[in-house]
Amino acid sequence: MSAERRPVHSSRRSVLRAGALTGLGLAGAQLAVPGRAGAAPGTGFLVGRGLADATGEVAEVGLMGYGRFDQQAAGLHTRLRARAFVVADRASGRRVMLIVADSPMIFHSVHQAVLRRLAGAYGDLYTEQNVLVTATHTHAGPGGYSHHLLYNTTTFGFHRKTFEAVADGLFEAAQRAHDDLAPSELVLSHGTLTGASVNRSRSAFDRNPKADRDHFPDAVDTHTTLLRVERAGRAVGAVNWFPVHSTSMSGDNRLVSADNKGYAAYHWEREVHGVDYLADGSPAFVSAFAQTNSGDMSPNLDLRPPTTPEDFAHTRANGLRQFEAAAAQLPEPGVRLTGPVDSRLVYVDLSDVTVGPEFTGDGRTHRTSKPCVGASMAAGSLEDGPAFPGFEEGDNPFWDAISDSVIYTVSPELRQAQAPKDVFVPIGEMNRVYPWVQERVPVMLVRIGRLHLIGIPGEVTVCAGLRLRRTVAAIVGADLDDVLVAGYANSYFHYVTTPEEYDAQQYEGGSTLFGRWQLPALQQTAAALATSLRDGTELPLGPKAPDLSGKALSLQPGVVLDAPPLLRKFGDVLVPPRESHRAGERAETVFAGAHPGNDLHRGDTYLEIQRRDSGGTWRTVADDGDWQTRFHWARDGVAASRVTLTWDIPQGTPPGTYRMVYHGDARSLTGTITPFTGTSPAFTVR
């Protein structure tokens, strides 16, 4: 008996919920999100929450983050979600939208595409001035969706299917948040989280002044902040900010995964609450785990890259720690926010900023320069995952000499502006021929009551973030804890280090593209935004970045043809599961499959784990968005595919009869795509 194929966002099943919680030692986790029946309904804000699938291609596309040509996707571990929140001040009518995406980066291409979609749907209600789009920076997401060439090198060019999936997913989450607007209260709280991060660039950190180092006694930013949404005294959503890289999944991993922050959100939404959407179509609970100044914060506490398969356990453990620190704040009274709601965004040409002496630290005026890649950037972060062999963090005199004497000549002015960086690639000069990296970047400041978010399109170290936060807090008169850097926001320009950290030319300094004075230039911009926000004045937009959508290069051909193995048809079971399993074991089935790039199944699923109920009907208990499932794809010859579905059966799974269902799509030589379904033999769980 076959079950009807249904979308992921249908009413969520709960049969595995108890098993999942028991396996994590959290059978009582619901107690972490208590209601507060005595609280009055909120009247100051309208708040909306939205959740959508933003997963791109999961096969034969480079994964983004480690810069490895060999890290090509070969399946799916967890789907990538976009989570949106709209906050409207009922008194002034002003509103802001925050979108947090399980994505490696938010490139300007995506930012523009989402804004275009919002303008088409809502006119000028949501614009670049009030929409903050950020990424969790998973290093296990598909790339190829930038319009700047540097970020598409390991993906062999632009991948339109992934681009559209990301943009559509973010827009869909925004639509759902808009439709969900309802009277709500917002509560802000702060906590401390240790044992979830380590400074991967301690030698650079130690160069900072004592006033900065003393703020982080262990060279780690332990500050965790929670903004929760309450309706009728009960939490219905939350945004958590905590700085740690999403590099728990290793560079050897080949499955698309939301990494540690994605797991934290998944756990809260699915394993604790048990459902995605209620019967009326509204989300049961939406939890976003957003980045702050995580530039030098690694989840790999032993300062070595994870290896497969230990990276799956490390990902869950780190995500669980972030969830626990956030959920522990729910019983706290926190601060109930009141208006105003406001925001500002400007564009800055970071390649040409004159920085005033009040921001440079040495009492002199300085200038930024055209972007340059340092040799230490090519080395990668050795603690999270090295990139190109032959490069080291710190000094690279050999490559400096080779590049300067053989490949190109660095002008004295550029060398001085970038010193002491060993310039490996003067990528700003390459921009004259083709857009490799963005130079005109957006910088944003958002206010929701006493909470201030500084939107920076890069990876900000903790001390660089501290200086940005102090700059804004001093101007607007806010508590420092209530001013946060929202990293990976609206675009991407690599790293932001303090001038002192830059001098060390570790990976982060080599990746600070615009020279030693890049952070002071951003502080100067943040100060202008804060002053404008405080005084209620407008700011010129600045040199807006161009639309490069017509220049994207696609170098990798698409799927040409799918064919089943000899004497087989699509969906046939090649290797069946065992007849009987116990909880804690892995069930596995191999199917004659097709290339998953034919249909990304966004908002749907490639697989289902089904259980037969007492009436003989098959009920879905897990899909490809669940932690316990994995979807592996591999070529079998030239045109055939082998698809392996696995299910790690959670402890506490009810005994019964189960089966695995695979949903595929095959392309003919004429380009026709035909969906098909494969079903495994039934097996028992004892």
% residues pLDDT > 90 (the chain): 83
Res. 309: pLDDT tops 90: no
Res. 568: pLDDT tops 90: yes
What is the pLDDT averaged over residues 325-342?
96
Query: What is the pLDDT at residue 384?
Result: 79
The Cα angle at residue 459 between residues 455 and 462, in degrees rounded to 5: 90
Distance between CA atoms of 330 and 150, rounded to whole angstroms? 42
Residue 92: other Cβ atoms inside 10 A: 11
Distance between CA atoms of 526 and 523, rounded to whole angstroms? 5
**Domain span holding position 189:** 43-340+441-496
Distance between CA atoms of 301 and 322, rounded to whole angstroms? 15
- Alpha-carbon separation of residue 678 from 148, 573, 626, 660, 661 (angstroms): 40, 7, 19, 8, 6
- Looking at the domain assignment, is residue 407 inside a domain? no
Res. 406: pLDDT tops 70: no
Res. 3: pLDDT tops 70: no
Res. 425: pLDDT tops 70: yes
Distance between CA atoms of 299 and 311, rounded to whole angstroms? 11
Low-confidence winner among 479-483, 498-502, 548-552, 592-596 (lowest mean pLDDT) = 548-552
Instruction: Kindly state whether residues 167 and 73 are assigned to the same domain.
Output: yes
The three-class DSSP label of residue 295 is: coil
What is the pLDDT averaged over residues 427-456?
97
Q: Is 495 annotated as ligand-binding?
A: yes
Q: For 405-515, where are the E strands, in sequence order?
A: 423-425, 440-448, 451-455, 459-460, 483-486, 495-496
Distance between CA atoms of 681 and 678, rounded to whole angstroms? 10
The residue written with tokens 């160069």 in the block is 207
Instruction: Kindly state whether residues 481 and 589 are assigned to the same domain.
Output: no
Instruction: Kindly state whether residues 151 and 289 are assigned to the same domain.
Output: yes
Question: In the Cβ-directed half-sphere of 179, how many Cα atoms lie within 13 Å?
Answer: 13
Query: What is the pLDDT at residue 56?
Result: 98
pLDDT digits (tens, 9 = 90+) for 346-369: 999 999 999 999 999 999 999 999
Low-confidence winner among 194-203, 478-487, 494-503, 549-558 (lowest mean pLDDT) = 549-558
Res. 385: pLDDT tops 90: no
Range list of H helices, 124-239: 160-179, 202-205, 210-213
Instruction: Kindly state whether residues 330 and 448 are assigned to the same domain.
Output: yes
Res. 24: pLDDT tops 90: no
DSSP label of 512: B
What is the pLDDT averaged over residues 211-236?
97
Band (pLDDT 50/70/90 cuts) for residue 2 is: very low
- Alpha-carbon separation of residue 586 from 1, 367, 577, 649 (angstroms): 24, 58, 9, 6
Q: Is 459 annotated as ligand-binding?
A: yes
Cβ within 8 Å of residue 433, ≥6 positions away: none
Instruction: Kindly state whether residues 169 and 254 are assigned to the same domain.
Output: yes
Range ranked top by mean pLDDT from 271-280, 387-396, 612-621: 612-621
Distance between CA atoms of 612 and 15, rounded to whole angstroms? 12
What is the pLDDT averaged over residues 293-310?
93
pLDDT, averaged across the chain: 91
- Alpha-carbon separation of residue 155 from 63, 69, 639 (angstroms): 7, 7, 21
Res. 379: pLDDT tops 50: yes
pLDDT digits (tens, 9 = 90+) for 509-539: 999 999 999 999 999 999 999 999 999 999 9
Residue closest to 592 by CA, chosen among 662, 660, 659? 662
- Looking at the domain assignment, is residue 415 inside a domain? no
Catalytic residue among 146, 257, 298, 376: 298
Band (pLDDT 50/70/90 cuts) for residue 53 is: very high
- Alpha-carbon separation of residue 544 from 398, 486, 673 (angstroms): 38, 20, 41
Query: What is the pLDDT at residue 32?
Result: 38
The three-class DSSP label of residue 398 is: helix
Query: What is the pLDDT at residue 230?
Result: 97
- Looking at the domain assignment, is residue 519 inside a domain? no
What is the pLDDT averaged over residues 220-231?
98
Query: What is the pLDDT at residue 193?
Result: 98
pTM of the model: 0.93
Q: For 182-233, where are the E strands, in sequence order?
A: 182-192, 198-199, 223-231
- Looking at the domain assignment, is residue 253 inside a domain? yes
Distance between CA atoms of 154 and 257, rounded to whole angstroms? 18
Cβ within 8 Å of residue 567, ≥6 positions away: none
Sequence letter at residue 358? E
What is the pLDDT averaged over residues 587-599?
98
Band (pLDDT 50/70/90 cuts) for residue 387 is: low
Instruction: Kindly state whether residues 474 and 601 are assigned to the same domain.
Output: no
Is residue 298 part of the annotated active site? The answer reads yes
- Looking at the domain assignment, is residue 586 inside a domain? yes
Query: What is the pLDDT at residue 8?
Result: 43
- Looking at the domain assignment, is residue 306 inside a domain? yes
pLDDT digits (tens, 9 = 90+) for 67-92: 999 999 999 999 999 999 999 999 99
pLDDT digits (tens, 9 = 90+) for 206-216: 999 999 999 99
Res. 584: pLDDT tops 80: yes
Sequence letter at residue 616? G
How many independent structural domains does the chain possess?
2
What is the pLDDT averaged over residues 580-608?
98
Task: Judge contact between 83 and 287, C-beta under 8 A.
Answer: yes
- Looking at the domain assignment, is residue 567 inside a domain? no
Task: Judge contact between 109 and 548, C-beta under 8 A.
Answer: yes
CATH number at residue 654: 2.60.40.2300
Query: What is the pLDDT at residue 139?
Result: 97
Range ranked top by mean pLDDT from 135-139, 272-276, 389-393: 135-139
- Looking at the domain assignment, is residue 577 inside a domain? yes
Alpha-carbon torsion angle 267, 61, 248, 261, nearest 10: -30
pLDDT digits (tens, 9 = 90+) for 473-513: 999 999 999 999 999 999 999 999 999 999 999 999 999 99
Instruction: Kindly state whether residues 116 and 246 are assigned to the same domain.
Output: yes
